[in-house]
Amino acid sequence: MTESTHLIDAGCFISQMNELVLIDPLYMNYVITNYFNYLINDKNELLPKESLNGVYFENAKPGLWSSFAIKEKNIFLPNSQKMEQNMIDLGIDKNYGNEIITSFACFNNTEFMHEYLTVEKLNELKWEKFESNINCIGNHNNGNIYKSQSKEEDKPINFSNYFTNILTVESGQVGLFCTESIKNCTNALLEKYEIYDIKNKEELDNFFNKNMNDLYPWYNKICNLTLSSSITIIDYIDMPLGSVCMSGSDCVSNYLCEVVKDDITGEIWAIRVNFFNPFK
């Protein structure tokens, strides 16, 4: 660890329940319309036919979560043409004098007080890889299983299988969100547009288009905040609550995250994404 490595403290957000979602905020409209929309829960023809590239944590500790970005300055000084090409492939800015976000980390405050956190202490935690979901919808290994289940119509798909647990970052940002706040946002938008039932795909698409009016300004605010401070807490009325961080790449990348679990309960109380270790 070099002297140029340091933490940026974004502050805290509250997770109301024990569920969190790690996802590119660019996909939030899709999440709200197609995954957390209770009006489509009993309509098989409207349920998603494929899983979403995001990470769903169904056993995370509720309460106050602290959020950090780790920055490094001059992390790569290319001494060869090959090294420079590797940087281009990773989407790393070639302005070597700039600081680069190398990772995004959040943890529950009941386990670790954020005032005393350092990069060294963060790295010393018992991190383990949060593996991709082999049971997700659309996985070639389980596609036949889900086709047979859908014919029976009485075996609902476990909600966790709507997520691949592979994080795709397209917008250059990643967010950790309280799922209860996403559900509340969905309900607020349905009430705002006076939508009390959705019967077909056309009505679902109409709801998606209406959401653009609310979610694009929300997304633009996030972009402005992360451009100025790299990482920020997102807390707007009737919108998803959480923390959003810039990634260290300007190209579409996939990642597996790391977690720390309680030795007794198995609850997840720390989550980290290493932007220099993309999933291949």
The pLDDT, as a whole number, for residue 250 is 75
Q: Residue 279 domain-assigned?
A: no
With vertex at residue 236, the alpha carbon angle to CA 232 and CA 237, rounded to the nearest 5 degrees, is 165
Q: For 173-189, how does the pLDDT look when each residue is reduced to its tens digit (9 = 90+)?
A: 999 999 999 999 999 99
| C-alpha to C-alpha distance for 266 and 278, rounded to whole angstroms | 26
| C-alpha to C-alpha distance for 4 and 238, rounded to whole angstroms | 39
Q: Residue 200 domain-assigned?
A: yes
The pLDDT, as a whole number, for residue 146 is 34
| C-alpha to C-alpha distance for 187 and 181, rounded to whole angstroms | 10
Q: For 44-67, how does the pLDDT look when each residue is reduced to its tens digit (9 = 90+)?
A: 999 999 999 999 999 999 999 999
- Cβ atoms < 10 Å from Cβ of 120: 9
The pLDDT, as a whole number, for residue 4 is 78
pTM for this prediction:
0.86
Q: Which residues, listed in sequence order, are joined to residue 106 by a DSSP beta bridge?
A: 67, 271
Q: Residue 280 domain-assigned?
A: no
The pLDDT, as a whole number, for residue 142 is 34
- Cβ atoms < 10 Å from Cβ of 87: 16
The order of strands in the sheet holding 128-129 is 6-15, 63-73, 99-108, 268-274, 258-261, 128-129
| C-alpha to C-alpha distance for 115 and 134, rounded to whole angstroms | 38
* 274-to-37, 54, 90, 154, 176 alpha-carbon distances in Å: 31, 15, 13, 40, 14
Residue-number span of the structural domain to which 72 is assigned:
6-274
Task: Render 198-230 in DSSP notation, one character per residue.
Answer: --SHHHHHHHHHHHHHHHHHHHHHHHHHHHHHS
Which residue ranges in the chain fall short of pLDDT 70? 1-3, 74-97, 113-115, 139-156
The pLDDT, as a whole number, for residue 152 is 45
The H or E element containing residue 101 is strand 99-108
Where does residue 82 fall: left (phi above 0), alpha (psi -120 to 50 degrees), or beta otherwise? alpha
Q: Residue 1 domain-assigned?
A: no
The pLDDT, as a whole number, for residue 114 is 62
Q: Residue 214 domain-assigned?
A: yes
The pLDDT, as a whole number, for residue 149 is 41
Q: Residue 22 domain-assigned?
A: yes
The pLDDT, as a whole number, for residue 150 is 43
Burial 202-235 (b: 16+ CB within 10 A, else e): eebeebbebbeebbeebbeebbebbeeebbbbbe
* 152-to-40, 142, 238 alpha-carbon distances in Å: 18, 16, 37
Q: Residue 183 domain-assigned?
A: yes
The pLDDT, as a whole number, for residue 18 is 95
Counting the structural domains of the chain, the total is 1
